[in-house]
Structure 1
């Protein structure tokens, strides 16, 4: 598995449950949650943008633990 330079989301707190993003050599983006770093989501930049717009617009239900 390639080594990525992960960046933590500015919306993540200092505890666990952080979202990390890294650029892959092929131009896609990798997203992972700090609690399960082996599971990666691979998206093209436009796909990430569309995902974030859908979440912010309420078109996707985001499940949170609680």
Structure 2
């Protein structure tokens, strides 16, 4: 297990006041951690930079617009 206690978590400025948000944190080994800020104890998903890049490009291209 990777120690995430000192990770620099950050949220999108688009997060709602109701707490609907996801947090991300860059890790020292180059991966990116993602978690639900309402339930951080529920777990964290780790992505490589290449995986996160593919996701971000897909979001920007509108590939996931039907999910919002």
TM-score normalised by structure 2 residue count: 0.68
Shift of residue 47, structure 1, vs aligned partner: 1.0
Count of matched residue positions in the alignment of Structure 1 and Structure 2: 64
Which of 13, 20, 26 is the aligned partner of 1:10?
13
Matching residue of 1:51: 55
Which of 22, 27, 40 is the aligned partner of 2:44?
40
Which consecutive unaligned segments of at least 5 residues does structure 2 have?
none
Between Structure 1 and Structure 2, the one with more helix by share is 2
Which consecutive unaligned segments of at least 5 residues does structure 1 have?
none
RMSD across aligned positions (CA)? 2.2
